[in-house]
Amino acid sequence: MGLTVSQLNIYPVKGLKGISLEASTATPRGLAHDRRFMVVDAGGHFLSQRELPAMATIWTEIAGAELLLAAPEAGEVAVPLEPVRGEALEVEVWDSRCPALAPSPEADRWLSEALGRPCRLAWMPESTRRESKPRRAGPGHLVSFADGYAFLVISEASLEALNARLAHPVPMNRFRPNLVVRGGEPFAEDAWGDFTAGEAALRMAKPCGRCQVTTTDQSTGEVTGPEPLATLSAWRTSPEFGAMFGMNAVTVRPGVIRVGDAVDPRLRGDDDKAGVAG
């Protein structure tokens, strides 16, 4: 049996709940609408589940031309999915700074109340060019407000191998992937170079270093203990990336990807690797 796409997930607001889709378009920045919004503090620095696990409890929904945010005790708020105006901001994601817009004072107030601290909602316009590090991805690859790369790819087999080592198995959403692959051997994706998924072509860039977000229950926002990070730190680790699980990837050729589409990988270093660039 060949490899297929089993999940497509986007996270319209970095750190908030994701949305599972049956189909999406791989754009130069990643799946359409993935992490184009981000919650920032007063200085423009991004906020995440690392310091605010309760971010996992805020729902996101795309309804026509609007993005809806909802929380159990805060009601909901709507913002334009692609704002045309807003206050200009400079925001920071790890070691990169880039221009953004704050499109909705109402959303700023709503998020501040829902999360219990002052914060703002920032949006990345098309004019912003934030690039992945070329040493890993090659030059010119764009990324949204994701940590560093357009995609996170994980196979179901890899999660099964991890869960076999855990006293209490964890679901795939602990790792917040964009593209989940069914079939193949555990961690086979670590050796992929370029690969196609549906109409799109992607390129693996590097292993994904994992952090304490993997210990947060994505349904409740509760930190459940040291796992699965403790097991990964003892089992799959490197001096450069720390605990590793999943692979970061960039877009080589944009296109539509659907759940059920075939995935065709080429191992890193294959002579015909560039052939999928199209």
How confident is the model at residue 277, as a pLDDT?
38
Measured from the Cβ of residue 166, the count of other Cβ atoms closer than 10 Å reads 13
| CATH fourth-level superfamily of 3-269 | PK beta-barrel domain-like (2.40.33.20)
Cβ contacts of 30 within 8 Å, gap of 6 or more: 143, 144, 146, 150, 151, 178, 251
pTM value? 0.94
Q: Which residue's structure tokens are 């109340």?
A: 113
How confident is the model at residue 275, as a pLDDT?
41
User: In which element (H, E) is residue 156 found?
Assistant: helix 156-163
How confident is the model at residue 1, as a pLDDT?
67
Exposure on the CB side of residue 7, measured as CA atoms within 13 A? 20
Q: Which amino acid is at 4?
A: T
Low-confidence stretches of the chain (pLDDT < 70) are 1, 269-278
Measured from the Cβ of residue 269, the count of other Cβ atoms closer than 10 Å reads 8
Is the peptide bond preceding residue 83 cis, with omega within 30 degrees of 0?
A: no
How confident is the model at residue 142, as a pLDDT?
97
Pairing of strands 37-40, 13-14: parallel
Q: Which residue's structure tokens are 């696990």?
A: 53
Provide the residue ranges of all domains of the chain, joining segments of one domain with +: 3-269
The angle at the Cα of 247, spanning 94 to 269, to the nearest 5 degrees, equals 120
How confident is the model at residue 267, as a pLDDT?
84
Q: Are 123 and 149 in contact (CB under 8 A)?
A: no
Residue 76: closest CA among 55, 56, 65, 61: 61
